[in-house]
Every structure is written in structure tokens, then in C-alpha cells.
Amino acid sequence: MALLERRSSMDAHKVLCTHYIQASAYPVMSELGLADALDGIGAIRNSADYWTKWGWIRPEAETGPGVLPHGYSVRRQSLDPLLRRTAAGTEGVDLRLGHTVNELLVEDGRTTGVAGTSADGSFVLRAPLVVGADGKDSTVARLAGAPSETTENHRFSYFAYFRGLRHPEGRTSARVYYLDPDNAYVMPNEDGVTVIAAVLSKARLDDFREDIEGAYLDFVRSLPEGPEIDRAERISKVIGTVNYPLITRQPSGPGFALIGDAALTSDPLSAVGCAWAMQSASWLVEATAPALTGDDPLDGALADYAKRHATETGAHQHLIADYALARPFNEIEAFMFEGAARDARLAEHFHTFGSRLITVEDYMAPEIVARTEKVTGWSLSEESLRVLSGGAPGAGTHATGPEGARQESTEAAR
């Protein structure tokens, strides 16, 4: 298998990422031996506490520290070279750095290979399956004409790295702030380095732009029980992005498949991109291995992969896209957040959902709603209950839908 990467250095890494890998990807990381390797380089076995106006949601309160399922927090400068070396050391993988794909070979409407350029000139490769793992602006998706749907992200984000930041009671849990509608997160990583992100409603963008660094630092200083950044060393510039739409693409077609951001670019705030990149690769392998190594039909396997992708991510992504509108909490969100802040079991349930380990349906299961009513002392309106019982599109869990922000588009094949 040829693995083509346009970057020419083994140590290249993605800069725009805060690299909290959700626990949902742990089985994939474990199977590939990555979990051991990440432990070996000091990656943080992650969990999170969540600030809300109802108090902190502390998921470990019931089970104790280190017991919940975890993923890893590890900077991309450590993760990306590790992934590349793991791939290069895997039997049957031919990693070719400095190879940029810029054309698809197509015969009778079917993708049959790629063409591109490298330092040695142009190259052409034929393959039964072309996998686009080429990120949010996927060349493979564009050239294959994969149908896509884009929704706006009404938040922008800036972040920076700090060394020597003290964590409350020495805890290494991330701290996530739901300031409604603004957000922030403080995430410890390997080597004692913490990344702090400000993820704000675009209503504040003009003010922010006047002095990005000053506005970022002032915002972080204003966080309730916030990180003491003035007693730590900032070791990076303030980095960010102001426009980051969410993109869902049809993840397969004749002779090609898309994984990771190429298939689904989610809101960075939800920190699901790295985990879903690993998981979607694994779903694709499970679906297509029998066809690629035997006589099963490949097109049926690719259709199965597309179905699995939609089942695993669709309802989650629907909620994430709605929340990316930077509107105030809807009634259901307020209900679930308040319950989780007031009850240890609901706190764990909330965290398990955010770690993408359970479905949206399980998150809002009737017994959870009943417990939340008891804990908060209030009940959802008839309208919200109707939504929960399936009256809304997708997950059936929205008080407000994202339809207004939806733009259908089909990427043109070149």
C-alpha cells in the first residue's frame, strides 16, 4: 500500500490543533500499539472538568481519578511524527514523503488511481481503492466530486502554549468553560506544556481583532477560577482561526473513500476530529478488508462504510453543528448541563457522551431525563419532550435546528 504525504519531513506537524484525543479512539490507539507509545512519551491520559453557571461538572467525583475511560492529550509535534513512524514501520506500507496528489485517474466513472508531483518529478499510481486522508480541504474529495454539506461556525478561536502552569490540586484534567455562548479550554499535555484556547462568538471578533494578543490574554485572565497564566511562561505566539465551517462529505464512491477531516470536518470546539480520523480509518478497514483481500464486491463494502460513518457520527455532528451557531443554550442543553453539575452520576454520563463513547439517544435516555428532573427540580417543556421523543431531524434532540445555516453544495469534479 502506498501512503502519499505532501509534507517532505518525517517531523512535520499540523499547527492548528489543540490535540485532545477523545476516549472513543482508545480502542484504535490500543490496537495499533499507539497507546503504549503515547504513554511512553508522556502523553496525558485525559479527562475533563467543565465549568457551567450551575457549578463545575466533575466527572470523576463518583469513580475517582484515573478510572474513567480516557484518550490522550499530546501535542501534534509529538503525535504526527509518531504516527508517521508507526505507519512507515508497518509491514506492507510504503510511505512516500513529499508526494502531492493533484489528479485522480478515472475510468468509466470509477476512480482507479492518482497522479501528482514529487521532488523527482511527476508520478502516477493505480490502485483498486484510493483513500483521501488529506484533511479539511481534501483534494481527493474535490476531484472525486464527493457531495458535501457545509454549515457555518459562528465562533472563532485563538490559543497559545504555556509551561509551568499550576493545576488545581495537581490535577491533570482539562478544564472546559461553557460561558454560554463563549467557551474556553485549558488542556495539559506532555512535557508540562498546557494549551489554552479561547473560543468565542463572532459577535466579539471586531473587538478582538484590534489587539488579538491583548484580548486573548485578558479573556483568559477573566475566566472564573481560571489558569494563572501570569505565573507561567508563555512559549508560543497566539495562534488561531476566524473562519472554520463544518463540512460533511459523502465518504465513499466508486473506487474511492474519504476518512478523517476529508469525510467530516467538525467544530474544533468539540475536539472530535483526531478521534474520528482514527476511528473512520478503522471503520473503512473493517468494511473493505474482505473485498480488498478476497472476492467480496468492493462497492458494497464502500457503501457499508458510508452507512457506518453516518451511524457513528451523524447525530453527534448534528448537535455539534447546531451548537456551533453560538446561540445561547437551548432548554435541553440547560437541563442536561445543570443536572450534570448537580449530580456525580450525571456528570460521568455527560463526560462519557462528550468523549463520544455513547450515542445521542443513550445520552438523552428516559431514565437520564427522569434523574435530571429529580436532581434539578424542574421539567422540560412539552415542546422539548416532543423533540426528545423524535420530533426533530437527525438525532431528534434539538430545540432549535440548524437548517437556517445550512448550505448545500456539491464540489465540482475537475
Q: Does 6 bind ligand FAD (CB under 6 A)?
A: yes
| Residue 279 or 384 with smaller CB distance to ligand FAD | 279
Per CB under 6 A, 381 contacts ligand FAD: no
Among all residues, whose Cβ is closest to ligand FAD?
A: 273
Question: Please, is 68 exposed, middle or buried when counting C-beta atoms within 10 Å of its C-beta (0-12, 13-18, 19+)?
Answer: buried
| Residue 275 interacts with ligand FAD (CB under 6 A): yes or no | yes
302 touching ligand FAD, by CB under 6 A: no
113 or 339, CB closer to ligand FAD?
113
Q: Rule CB under 6 A: is residue 16 a binding residue for ligand FAD? A: yes
Q: Give the CA angle between residues 140, 142, 148 to the nearest 5°.
A: 115
Task: Tell me the Ramachandran region of residue 109: left when phi exceeds 0, alpha when psi lies from -120 to 50, beta otherwise.
Answer: left
Tell me if 197 sits within 8 A of 48, measured CB to CB: no
When the beta carbons of 261 and 312 are compared against ligand FAD, the nearer one is 261
CA atoms in the 13 A half-sphere facing the CB of 90: 16
Q: Hey, which residues between 124 and 183 contact ligand FAD (CB under 6 A)?
A: 133-135, 139, 157
- x/- track of binding to ligand FAD for residues 227-246 (CB under 6 A): --------------x--x--
Beta carbon nearer to ligand FAD, 156 or 335:
156
Q: Which residue's CB is nearer to ligand FAD, number 34 or number 332?
A: 34
Cα–Cα–Cα angle for 102, 104, 109, rounded to 5 degrees:
155
Q: How far is the CB of 149 from ligand FAD (least distance, A)?
A: 17
Q: Considering only 174-182, 269-277, 325-333, 351-359, which stretch makes contact with ligand FAD by CB under 6 A? A: 269-277
Least gap, CB of 285 to ligand FAD (angstroms): 15
Q: How many residues bind ligand FAD (CB under 6 A)?
A: 30
Q: Which amino acid is at 310?
A: A
Q: How far is the CB of 269 from ligand FAD (least distance, A)?
A: 8
319 vs 331: CA distance, rounded Å:
14
| Integer Cα distance of 100 and 46 in angstroms | 34
Cell 470536518 belongs to: 265
* Cβ-count burial 20-52 (b if 16+ within 10 Å, e if not): bbbbbbbebbeebebbebbeeeebbbbbbbbbb
Name the one residue in this structure whose C-alpha cell is 468523549. Answer: 355
Helix pair angle (298-323, 273-293), 10° resolution: 170
Whether the ω angle into residue 147 lies within 30 degrees of 0, i.e. cis, is no
| H-only helix segments in 70-116 | 76-88
Rounded distance, CA 3 to CA 145, Å?
A: 22
Binding piece for ligand FAD, criterion CB under 6 A, among 3-11, 35-43, 289-297, 368-376: 3-11
Interaction between residue 100 and ligand FAD (CB under 6 A): yes
3-state helix, strand, coil in the chain (%, to 5): 40, 25, 35
Q: How far is the CB of 135 from ligand FAD (least distance, A)?
A: 3
Among residues 28, 57, 101, 141, the one that binds ligand FAD under rule CB under 6 A: 101
Q: Which one, 81 or 135, has the nearer CB to ligand FAD? A: 135
Question: Does residue 93 belong to the site contacting ligand FAD (CB under 6 A)?
Answer: no
- Contact region with ligand FAD (CB under 6 A), list: 14-22, 304-312, 325-333, 349-357: 14-22
Alpha helices (H) along 294-379: 298-323, 331-342, 344-354, 360-363, 366-376
Q: Is 278 in the site for ligand FAD (CB under 6 A)?
A: no
Is residue 271 close enough to count as binding ligand FAD by CB under 6 A?
yes
Name which position in 260, 339, 354, 402 contacts ligand FAD (CB under 6 A). Answer: 260
Q: What residues make contact with ligand FAD under the rule CB under 6 A? A: 4-7, 14, 16-21, 100-101, 133-135, 139, 157, 241, 244, 260-262, 268, 271-275, 277
